[in-house]
Structure 1
């Protein structure tokens, strides 16, 4: 139900992204749209803040990947009869999280032409793993597997959160933040699409696939037993499916989970570099960040991404509340998406205007849900961390915008005039 609600909330924004991407397919996607359709004095600083906020998301994803890796080893060693694995220490956790990210950055720098193929293969492997895991759980039955899983790993069933529809709504911000938020990924690289017809299907097909890949497995796992085990930390779709598949075959699902995590990071690296590249070409960021090597890779942008992500990745390891503090990216993301929705109302065509207008109240609801969520660390003792972080990001955006205006003025260029022109595709 939460996946369905989140899908319906994100659908108008996905439609707006599709129509804007077809009208204006440019590197940087929504950054180009809001900077050209809205006042750059407002939109550009927020776009800068949002872009430099993305490494926080990558760090959080990498951190969860290291947790998933530990769960994979724990479950597979147990069912393969290899014994108990020791818990990963702080250094090992950091390395497990950082090495895949470093590897992906290296691929983007050395072989950018191979990134699209890599993402395609990872997508196929990941989707196959979800389908295989769903089939295994359906054939063997979730309820008896859950009892056996809890007994094998000595899990104590317990309930947490609100029952009924209020509990459903609590899950909506999490799904919107980590699953349905990727509406901007395809449009950000729309200028590189080999076939313009793909722009018609990219976002909406992604939303439908996301709904199916989340909704079907969770629907299969519904019931009081699953509900009481989800909060134990080890029990989830992937660990139960690995357990159901058994020795040997469980590694197929383990590889599928790894493919998902790497795919998400790979897409993030690609998109971040395009935002930085677009901003550098607009003279907003230093010219160095707009440089491309002989292989067509924006190397300085990738290195900046690597530096920021590895720095943020140390936060949850240094502080016990650090992982919750990293959720601070959510409010800024919603503000940014709100600007995109407003920009949609400035495009030509009734459909895109309507989609943008309809997105605004839905995004407002998501903002309220994020603030009220008991899971996202945006309330209570972490409030001051949230405020300092968000104000710092917005301050960075304003300072970069003002610096660029001053620098451009010295050479006789008005920065705001640049935003009256649409960059070439």
Structure 2
């Protein structure tokens, strides 16, 4: 007697349903995407340490962050269109992995997703874990007094590892025991982070230029800075205008585009990756555009307030100053200093930490969904697809994430200078986004009709062009983008690993009468 279609499908996929529960509200989807967009981590890495964007940029002349943010947002519009449409066509755990693999087949789809998101995310989580450490230490130093000693503890590798590892383990534990609480935690942290960012802008607006100048002048005198770093006026005067209309040097703005893209605008895949858990069609339809526009307003607004109050000459000069970088001066710590301590400084400091923590908390959830989706297709070992009937969470996927990420956190905490190139693995994601665009175009031409067909096809082509150029920028400027031999080894090794895993899995299952390539011809279980 021949097998029914249901029996055949059950044999191909690990099981007929993921076992996940629809726990994700509309607000949760927005929070997930905003945490994914990492506005706080970008504001933290623009200035404040030796390797900060403005410190290592060849020139900050005419580098207007407001305009740069607006350009980056416009370049990300094709990505917004793609995720908005495709997450409704493929509402499954794993998001873009599902539609890339369904359009390019198992070998290329699985390899690219494993390489461009799964393995890159591990490196990114380790980086953000250390940014949580740095923000705790930086907030302590900015509060001054006895907190300065507390802040100095976070310059020690052991402290960095213990704190980051403990926080990460707690987040994993929460998501294993109560997935719904994991989502609500991301939402709560994100809302507090947004509130603190708005408060930070309010502090700048209330202080005005004189407030910024008074703080910088007092700080420079207290730590005995000289020359162009000696005062607000000296810093502003040291800035060299570009000489171009409106002092806009588009070459310099395009040059830092890889940094903005590494943190913010293209990262809209969080909610689509949990699409099968989202409650309601409105949330599925609108979460991406609302999140993208909100992230744009928050980041661009922060830059606009900073420039409007302190002036672009001062901001560009102080953020590119090695002396002030040595004291950890960035968007948040400057506002804490201007606020003068007390409750407001505390809230800004806690918000600074929360914005890094939110990024880590979202990544714990999303990474496990990619592992789950890839294992449901039998690309990865089927044990990773296990969802606890008691908790409704992918327990094994979370535990694998815990073990690997703790190892990466430990390595980066103790050997940061030697291993920091691993964070350049973000180039794999930029290349992966090229294929996301191409997959969207292929889908549009084969399966869509009318206006949607044209819009999605053009968005896909535009996306491929944008991220092809961004990928080129990464490769053309390795000193700025952080690419080195460690990066190249990690990127090449993870791509080869993805290809070998697929080929090995297909061979293994074929010997047992299962052709896993058939998985990629239909939607996976919900």
TM-score (norm. length: structure 2): 0.76
2:120 equivalent in structure 1: 53
Task: Report the equivalent of 1:131.
Answer: 198
Deviation at 1:420, TM superposition (A): 0.6
Match of 1:228 in 2: 317
Is contact 2:422–2:490 with CA below 8 Å preserved after alignment? no
Partner in structure 2 of residue 388 of structure 1: 489
| More moved, 192-201 vs 123-132 | 192-201
| Distance verdict in 2 for CA 1:120–1:7, change over 3 Å | same
- The answer as to 2:101 corresponding to 1:35 is yes
Partners of 2:83 and 2:269 within 8 A in 1: yes
Between the aligned partners of 1:165 and 1:114, the Cα distance in structure 2 is 44
Distance 2:280 2:364 in 1: 22
Distance 1:244 1:2 in 2: 26
Q: 1:62: which partner in 2?
A: 129
Q: Specify the alignment match of 1:369 in structure 2.
A: 473
RMSD in angstroms over aligned alpha carbons? 2.1
Alignment partner for residue 92 of structure 1, among 132, 138, 159?
159
Tell me, yes or no, if structure 1 residue 205 matches structure 2 residue 290: yes
**Structure 1 residue 161: deviation in Å?**
12
Change (3 A) 1:180 1:160: farther
**Pairwise mapping of residues 304-319 of structure 1 onto structure 2 (< 5 A)?**
304-319=400-415
Tell me what 1:357 maps to: 461
Q: Deviations over 1:56-88 (max 9, x none)?
A: 01001111221111110001124xx76655353
Residue by residue over 1:10-45, the C-alpha shift from the partner in whole angstroms, topping out at 9 and shown as x without a partner, is 111111111101122111100000110113222211
Partners of 1:37 and 1:343 within 8 A in 2:
yes
Corresponding residue of 1:271: 366
1:116 maps to what in 2? 183
- Is there any run of 5+ residues in structure 2 with no aligned partner, and where? 1-66, 230-234, 243-248
| Match among 273, 276, 281 for residue 191 of structure 1 | 276
In the alignment, the residues of structure 1 paired with residue 410 and residue 421 of structure 2 have an alpha-carbon distance, to the nearest angstrom, of 12
SS in 1 for 2:255: helix
Range with greater deviation from structure 2 (146-155 or 91-100): 146-155
Segment drifting more, 182-191 vs 217-226 = 217-226
Q: Secondary structure at the match of 2:256?
A: helix
Where 1:321 maps in the other structure, the secondary structure is: helix
Q: Which whole-Å CA distance do the structure 1 matches of 2:120 and 2:350 have between them?
A: 29
The Cα of 1:205 is off from its aligned counterpart by 1.5
CA distance in structure 2 between the aligned counterparts of 1:284 and 1:40, rounded to whole angstroms:
8
1:255 corresponds to: 350
With the length of structure 1 as denominator, give the TM-score of the two structures.
0.93
Distance 1:352 1:241 in 2: 42
Deviation at 1:369, TM superposition (A): 2.0
In the alignment, is the contact (CA less than 8 A) between 1:137 and 1:241 conserved in 2? yes
Structure 1 contact 123–263 (Cα < 8 Å) conserved: yes
Aligned to 1:208, what secondary structure does the other structure show?
helix
How many residues in Structure 1 have an aligned counterpart in Structure 2? 419
**Range with bigger deviation, 266-275 or 305-314:** 305-314
Counterparts in 2 of 1:368 and 1:155: CA distance versus 1, 3 Å: farther
Task: Give the distance between the partners of 2:81 and 2:333, measured in 1 at CA.
Answer: 35
Q: Structure 2 CA distance, aligned partners of 1:307 and 1:160?
A: 47
SS in 1 for 2:391: coil
Contact 1:315 1:322 in 2 (8 A): no
Rounded to whole Å, the distance in 2 between the matches of 1:422 and 1:414 is: 16
Deviation, structure 1 residue 150: 4.1
